[in-house]
A and B are shown apart, each in its own frame.
Chain A
Amino acid sequence: MKQDINFLFVGVGGQGILTASDITAEVGLEAGYDAKKSEVHGFSQRGGVVESHVRWGEAVAAPLSEKGTVDYLVATELLEAARWIDWLRLGGAILINNQRILPMSVTVGDAVYPPDGDVLTVVHAHTEDVTVIEGLATAERLGNPRLANTVLLGALSTRLDVPPETWLSVVERRVPPKYVDLNREAFRDGRNAVGMV
């Protein structure tokens, strides 16, 4: 009997959340789980918040998990980590890409982007299992900011009982051939960032 695992990917439209969650769902299927993935499209996507749920299990029913039951919350943006933290179960793991993307409400209005410290305080109140990853910096060092999510997936992969090769084979299927090597490198950097090879 496979134990159920709930993932929630959150970030901003254009950050590649949907691809990252697609890959995670496919890895689950490859690893012998049933898997479902669900996302929000359309009007809500233009510069807005993007959320994508992935569930692994013996037989997954609902495509969305329930607030407070997410095992792995992957935030590709700092503010979104705070916005969605209630979805994490107490003691669940959160992986945060250390990147700030200012919402229009901040750039044109009076809304204030909370300081990093405030965001992390909220996150820490919910769980001790917090990993902040320099995904964007790593990706830029590799020469392409779009690799940030692969760095995050590398870090996430260290938490799951699935061989990294399975992750890499799915990543390779999903990216254009000329970017395969760079994605391998980004994935490895993500694993290294949390002290695993």
Chain B
Amino acid sequence: MKTTGPSSKKRLLSGNEAIALGAWEAGVRYAAAYPGTPSTEIMPALAQYAGVRAEWAANEKVALDAAVGASFAGARALAAMKHVGVNVASDSLMTLSYTGVGAGLVLVSADDPGAFSSQNEQDNRHYARFGKFPCLEPADSQEAKDFTVAAFEVSETFDTPVMLRSTTRLSHSKSAVEVKMPTASREPGLLPPFERKPRKYVMIPAHARLRHPKIEARLQALAEYAETYPLNQVEWGDKRVGVISGGVAYQYAREVFEGFSFLKLGMSYPLPAGMIRDFAAEVDTLVIVEELDPFIEEQVRALGLGVVGKQFFPLTGELSLARVREGAIKAGLPVQDQSQVAGSRSQSQGEKPETLQLETLKPSIPPRPPALCPGCPHRSVYFNLRKRKMLVAGDIGCYAIGVLPPFEEMDMLISMGASIGMAHGAGQAGCPDKIVATIGDSTFFHSGLPELANTIYNRGVACTMILDNGTTAMTGGQDNPATGVTLQGESTQVIDIESVVRAMGVEDLWVVDALDVKGVETAIREATAIEDRPTVIIVNGECVFTPQFRRRPVVEVDPEVCNGCGFCFRVGCPAILKSEEIGEKTKRPKAQIDPLLCTGCTVCLQVCPREAIHQTSEEEA
């Protein structure tokens, strides 16, 4: 380990923490994001630094727009979002490429190869080519910090937005970063007066036409710059194989192709054509290892070079050591077989490398699908929607779990805010089923507002259920316009959803308590009985992870009364377990409740047809 001076120390940071640190070191004054896995942790980390205004924006486009304003005003600015969030922001992004920046502006796109927590696994490097701006791809946390600083420099040197592309594996991995302790606190005063440049910042058609040639010239200049850019590096080794790679893919390649030559691209767009040609000329076989699309590969092939690429490495899903190794072996490249690796390791431990038929020995291992938490306010909603056999247009949030057993009560889900529009369109087109859109509070403010306005304006008839659980739950509980607290911890105006919906002119509005199972059912029944105008149901109930959530006395099953009908299992609560006792008549296991998991929400108590479940005491648990 390298020794470090007293002013700096190696610390384990996640990619997201490192990006935040880099942004702070680069002197960012304004930053905004909408929470989205795997990008979420960047903004809270940045909010801790003095001299930075960090905010949760209502959606990704707003986050980018605010960063654009800050940049035009002369402050370095950063916007962070997940890959699909860039789609939301892309309207501004494509024209931001034309205007260029004032002070440096960096857009962090955190992609999700493998779709661990996303609705797709799109490859956002294409945005860089589409929008004609540079894309930097760090490969570990140290680079995440360093490249963030570098991105601001490139942004200002070339008057361009810069995309810093992370992936789940970078954002959520921790590795060592040289951290210099801040020496002085930063207290930014006011910026200098705004410098008016309407031909640059006001994109009316006449100005846009003038900007376009400048953007083409900028891209050419960037491509030339890339040839000597220090973030693109050649590491010579055995020249039988030369690997071009970048981002986390480089780390897998580095292990699998140990000892061979590498061209590591820190900037994956625009590419250094000369550097690639020179590298290719020196090696026998040119290999490209990249996650998802053949983004580098297609450009390298366009240079007339033959490569080993996506014909051997997977186009879909996250890469791994095994998948890169498998591709290399299929391509006939001289890399070590994994079984040899494992074998040599066990031999070094003095054991025989035997192969085992584990699959035959393995008992069948039940899957562990995600479930709504005990006490989750969404439970009564999906229980009742299923009971009433509704067609459900879902949205992005924890409530997507409504599609899984035991509810299996979601029929469409595509993107943030889309539930309301999909429900509307299906109804307008003549779908005979009763359709309900379900959308969370944060998602409603993200993009549900225009969708609901559209339903009302177009005389739609769908029922919209707004599930207000007081937080942005799925990403870990971030504040939003309905919670009354900012990312900096200030108290702020609570935007009351009921008032908003009423102000839009919805008169058929129900406000119900999520833990009142009958109340939720009545609201659904009454709202969906109305067939000639839009209706809205607001379901209030706190997420169990919010600070305001209060546990109530736990409930328990009376085994004398329970007959094993299994009805309570249909609420899908992880706290309700199958007991060893079997119901005499039903021949099925009775229910029992894990008191450690139960929050006392009483949803199971309310649905039990035999009143076999009761609360343990009236006192606070």
Interface residues of A (CB under 8 A from B): 12-13, 22, 25-26, 29, 32-49, 60-69, 79, 82-83, 85-86, 89-91, 102-109, 111-114, 118-119, 121-122, 125-126, 145
| Cβ of A98 to closest chain B Cβ, rounded Å | 17
Q: Which residues of B contact A49 (CB under 8 A)?
A: 368
> A46-B370, A63-B248, A90-B354 are contacts. A35–B176 as well, Cβ < 8 Å?
yes
Q: Are B358 and A64 in contact (CB under 8 A)?
A: no
> A29-B176, A66-B341, A90-B354 are contacts. A118–B363 as well, Cβ < 8 Å?
yes
Q: Which residues of A contact B368 (CB under 8 A)?
A: 12, 47-49, 79, 103-105
Q: Are A22 and B174 in contact (CB under 8 A)?
A: yes
The verdict on B169 contacting chain A, using a C-beta distance below 8 Å, is: yes
Q: Are B362 and A82 in contact (CB under 8 A)?
A: yes
Q: Are A47 and B574 in contact (CB under 8 A)?
A: yes
* Complex Cα gap A65–B475 (Å): 26
Q: Are B321 and A65 in contact (CB under 8 A)?
A: yes
The verdict on B484 contacting chain A, using a C-beta distance below 8 Å, is: no
| Cβ of B39 to closest chain A Cβ, rounded Å | 11
The verdict on B499 contacting chain A, using a C-beta distance below 8 Å, is: no
Q: Are A89 and B321 in contact (CB under 8 A)?
A: no
- Interface residue tally for chain B (C-beta within 8 Å): 64
Q: Which residues of B contact A64 (CB under 8 A)?
A: 169, 320-321
| Cβ of B434 to closest chain A Cβ, rounded Å | 26
Q: Which residues of A contact B362 (CB under 8 A)?
A: 82, 85, 122
> A44-B116, A107-B569, A126-B358 are contacts. A79–B366 as well, Cβ < 8 Å?
yes
Q: Are A47 and B37 in contact (CB under 8 A)?
A: no
Not counting A66-B341, A67-B338, a sample of 18 additional A-B residue pairs whose C-beta atoms are within 8 angstroms of each other reads: A26-B12, A29-B12, A32-B1, A37-B173, A38-B169, A41-B168, A42-B37, A46-B370, A46-B474, A47-B373, A66-B320, A66-B322, A68-B338, A82-B362, A90-B356, A91-B351, A104-B369, A126-B356
Q: Which residues of A contact B603 (CB under 8 A)?
A: none
A-B contact count (CB 8 A): 186
Q: Are A108 and B569 in contact (CB under 8 A)?
A: yes
Q: Are A114 and B117 in contact (CB under 8 A)?
A: no
Taking a contact as CB atoms closer than 8 A, the residue among A62, A86, A111 that contacts B367 in the complex is A111
* Complex Cα gap A156–B574 (Å): 30
| Cβ of A71 to closest chain B Cβ, rounded Å | 8
* Complex Cα gap A4–B398 (Å): 39
* Complex Cα gap A61–B175 (Å): 10
| Cβ of B253 to closest chain A Cβ, rounded Å | 9
> A25-B12, A35-B12, A47-B373 are contacts. A105–B367 as well, Cβ < 8 Å?
yes
* Complex Cα gap A53–B117 (Å): 18
Q: Are B365 and A114 in contact (CB under 8 A)?
A: yes
Q: Are B117 and A41 in contact (CB under 8 A)?
A: yes
> A41-B37, A46-B370, A108-B569 are contacts. A36–B173 as well, Cβ < 8 Å?
yes
Residue of B nearest to A49 (CB): B368
Give 1 or 0 for each of B577-621: 1 = CB within 8 Å of chain A CB. Answer: 110000000000000000010000000000000000000000000
Residue of A nearest to B352 (CB): A90
> A108-B569, A118-B363 are contacts. A61–B255 as well, Cβ < 8 Å?
yes
Q: Which residues of B contact A125 (CB under 8 A)?
A: 356, 358, 361
Give 1 or 0 for each of B152-185: 1 = CB within 8 Å of chain A CB. Answer: 0000000000000000110011111000000000
Closest 5 CB pairs of A and B: A42-B117, A111-B366, A42-B37, A114-B363, A38-B173
